[in-house]
Amino acid sequence: MDGNGRWAKARGLERVSGHAEGAESVRACLEYAVEKGLKYLSLYAFSEENWNRPTQEVEALMELLMRYIEQELPLMMKHNIRCIALGNRSRLSDSVNAALDSVMAKTAANTGTTLVVFLSYSGKWDILQAVKKAASQLTPQELLSLEPQDFERFLVTADIPDPDLLIRTSGELRISNFLLWQGAYTEFYFTDTLWPDFRKPQFQEALDEYARRDRRYGKVK
């Protein structure tokens, strides 16, 4: 969800205002995901690298996230949305973790769209924690005979499918340490639109483009 800072700067506003407007885009896209019957909507809300931002911005982002979760809970219940948070949760504050645990518990039995919030997440971190977990749980022999599908269950995304489509806003053309393993066959969609301007019509455009893609997974037709 890139481009919040630039959206704010272009209007002479603080970066935080861009994140607040970005939260409105989250709301709109979540509503649209439900409307379209998408099974999963994943958001890269905060990367491991984002911890290096000024403390004030990090705190404002965490506040915004907690507020969003609290405010959106009734809507999540109404629309049967299940919310899960994935990432290096040990780096998050107790209050953020408590808010996440609460929304996850309250929405756990919902069966509609799953909203996956990636927080304090990075692809390299995920792969490394999976390696450590595998090494602590498997015998040396089991480790040596690991196949990709066996390894995947140690990633934090073990319970969710790999993403079909990855949308990156604001004209940046990189993956920025997102789902490095899981994105092996993901379709990428890049748009110059800044995240706060990314609403239903822009989402639909991305879905239309995805529908035109020919996914061969390395095979021939």
Residue ranges that bind ligand FPP, judged by CB under 6 A? 1-6, 19, 22-23, 26, 43, 45, 50, 61, 64-65, 68, 117, 170
Give the active site residue among 50, 88, 97, 110.
Answer: 50
Identify which of residues 76 and 155 has a Cβ nearer to ligand FPP in the complex: 76
Rounded Cα–Cα distance for residues 31 and 189 (Å): 20
Of all residues in the shown chain, the one whose CB is closest to ligand FPP is: 5
Identify which of residues 65 and 167 has a Cβ nearer to ligand FPP in the complex: 65
Q: How far is the CB of 130 from ligand FPP (least distance, A)?
A: 24
Q: How far is the CB of 1 from ligand FPP (least distance, A)?
A: 4
Q: Which residues, other chains included, contact 13 with Cβ-Cβ below 8 Å and sequence gap of 6+?
A: none
**Residue pointed to by tokens 């905060």:** 46
Backbone angles phi, psi at 217, to 5 degrees: 50, 40
The yes-or-no answer on residue 126 being catalytic is no
Identify which of residues 73 and 146 has a Cβ nearer to ligand FPP in the complex: 73
Q: What ranges in the chain are assigned the alpha helix state H?
A: 4-10, 15-36, 55-78, 94-107, 123-137, 140-144, 148-151, 200-211
The yes-or-no answer on residue 159 being catalytic is no
Q: How far is the CB of 194 from ligand FPP (least distance, A)?
A: 7
Identify which of residues 154 and 202 has a Cβ nearer to ligand FPP in the complex: 202
Q: How far is the CB of 113 from ligand FPP (least distance, A)?
A: 14
Per DSSP, the residues of 62-91 read: HHHHHHHHHHHHHHHHHTT-EEEEES-GGG
Q: How far is CA 49 from the centre of its chain?
A: 15
Catalytic residues: 2, 50
